[in-house]
Amino acid sequence: MAEPGSGSGRPTDPVGRLLYRIARWLAIFGGVVLAGMALLTTVSIVGRAAFSAPVRGDFELVAIGTGIAVFAFLPWCQLTRGNVIVDFFMDRAPVRAKALCDAVGGLLYLLLGALLTWRMVFGGIDMHRFSELTLTINFPRWTTFPLSVLLMAFLIVVTAYTVHRSFREMRAGRFLDGGDGGGGSGG
């Protein structure tokens, strides 16, 4: 719905600024992990083509790393209004209507995030209890769950903040982070 436009897109209140800093560092961390997965894939492909020696379990490691990277990106996307946006339908809508749609979408996202986090906790516990391992390199699958649950919990906090921000924007009739609600990309 709403997107930052000409403004900086940074929250101006203390809680928002703290969440912004943490989310930014997590996104950078996710980018580093993703770059590492790209490097691992490159080394494996070159090793397979040139020496008939790919990195053993490369697809498992890439799947694990990509999952962690995605969870690290989600809070940043939510905070900067970078998640799925339907601007086509809302482009000419007033700020209050955009903020209302953001609030409703945020509430749904909050519920979904809480449900996924809750189920991930039990999934990780089950994988630990049954000592589930990856097929090729026998990596304990449960070990990725604590970090993933932590990242999802942070997403829940960020989403709760953005829902609150959307309700404040509805009351104010303007975007509080410098956005104008139309086109452009925030940073």
- Give 72-99 pLDDT, tens digit per residue: 999 999 999 887 666 667 778 888 988 9
CB 44 within 8 A of CB 58: yes
Helices marked H in the chain: 14-51, 58-79, 87-90, 95-129, 145-172
State the DSSP string of 28-82.
Answer: HHHHHHHHHHHHHHHHHHHHHHHHS-PPTTHHHHHHHHHHHHHHHHHHHHHHTT-
What pLDDT score was predicted for residue 39? Answer: 98
Residue 134 per-residue DSSP state: -
Dump pLDDT digits (tens) for 20-64. Answer: 999 999 999 999 999 999 999 999 999 999 999 999 999 999 999
pLDDT at 165 over 70: yes
| CA atoms within a 13 Å half-sphere pointing along the CA-CB vector of 80 | 20
Question: What does the alpha-carbon distance between residue 186 and residue 19 come to, in Å, rounded to a whole number?
Answer: 16
